[in-house]
Amino acid sequence: MASLDVGAASAAPSFEEHCESFPLLFYRAVRDLKPVWMLEDMRTMETFYRQEDASHRTYAPSEALLYAIVHDHQAYARYLLTRYTDEALARPGERFCRCLSPAAPHLAMAVRYDRRCILGLILQETHRRAGAPSSFSFSRADRAGCFHVEDGRTPLHLACELLRPEAVVMLLGSGASPHAQDCDGLTPLDVVLEKLGGRGKEGHGARGRRQCLDNLLMFMPTVHFKMKGALSREPERWSELLGEETYLYLTERRPAPLALAAMQTVLRQLSPATFPDSLRDLPIPSSLKPPGLLPVTQRDGHRVVL
C-alpha cells in the first residue's frame, strides 16, 4: 500500500509544475473559444509563478488580445477592446516579445493571421478613443511592430506582402499612409509591384496581387514609389503586366483614368471614423468600389467587418 501511495505522489504534478502550466491552460482556453467570463477569470487570476515580479502573475489585456487574434476569438477581442481600449492596444510585456520596436503588434498580427473582423474592431476602437475623426493618427500603430524585424514596415506593407486586399482597403480607409517607406525606401505600392513583376499576370495569387494594386491606387491621388524608374526602363514588360492605361498612369505619362480619378475624389470625402460602412453605403455600383472588401455580417448583436 505504501508503494502505491509513493507512486501516486510521484505521478502527481508538483505545485511549481502546476503554476508553470497555467499559461498553456489560458492559451488553450482562448483557442477553444471559451466564454469571455471564464477567460477573464483565468486572465486575472494571480498564479504563483517562480518570478517575484507581480506582472508575471496575470495577463495584461494587450497580451490576452494577442491570443484572441491568433485564435480568432472575436467576442473576447471585442470585450478587451471595449473594456480596456488603451491597455489592450498597448505594447505587450517582454515575455511575449523582447524586440526593440516601440510599436504594439496587434494591427500587424490581425493582418498576418487575416483576422478581418478583429482588424475592423481595432480600427473602430482606435477611432472611438481618438474622439474625433480629424484627430485620428496612425502615429502609434502605423509601424508593423514585433515579429523580430526592424525594417520599418507598416501593417499596410505587410498586407500587400501577404496579398490581403481586404486589409489593404480597411487600413487605407482608416488613415494608413500609402506613401510610408520601409528601411529600404519601399512603399506598399513597391511591394505589390515586386509581387507582380516576380509572378507575372497569371499564376497563383494573381487576383490578389491585382486587387491589392487597384485598392492602393484608389487611395493614391499622387503616386510616389521607388520602382518608377524600373517601370520606365522596361515599358513593354510592365505595360503587359499592368495594362497600358495603368502603366502610363504610374509612369506619369497620362493622367489617372476618369473612373479612377472619380473614385479617388469620392474616397477622400469619406471619414476614416465611419469607414468601411460609409464606403458600402455609397450609392454607386459595387463594381466601382475597391475590390476585395467583403460584406458586413451580424455577430453577437454587433455590426462587424469580415
Per residue in 228-270, pLDDT tens?
Answer: 999 999 999 999 999 999 999 999 999 999 989 999 999 999 8
Phi and psi based region of residue 256 (left: phi greater than 0; alpha: psi -120 to 50; beta: remaining): beta
User: For the packed helices 61-70 and 74-83, what is the interaxial angle rounded to 10 degrees?
Assistant: 160
From first CA to last CA, the distance across the chain in angstroms is 60
What pLDDT, on a 0 to 100 scale, did the predictor assign at position 290? 78
Element (H, E) at 305: strand 302-305
Share of the chain above pLDDT 70, in %: 72
Q: Is the pLDDT of residue 297 over 60?
A: no
- Kindly report, residue by residue over 141-176, the tens digit of the pLDDT: 454 444 444 578 899 999 999 999 999 999 999 999
Over pLDDT 90: what percentage of the chain? Answer: 51
Task: Give, in degrees to the nearest 5, the angle at Cα 267 between 264 and 270.
Answer: 160
Looking at the DSSP bridge assignments, the partners of residue 297 are 304
Query: Are 166 and 117 within 8 A, CB to CB?
Result: no
How many angstroms separate the Cα of 260 from the Cα of each of 84, 90, 231, 283, 288? 40, 37, 20, 16, 9
Distance CA 188, CA 207 (A): 17
- Chain-wide mean pLDDT for the chain? 79
pLDDT(49) > 70? no
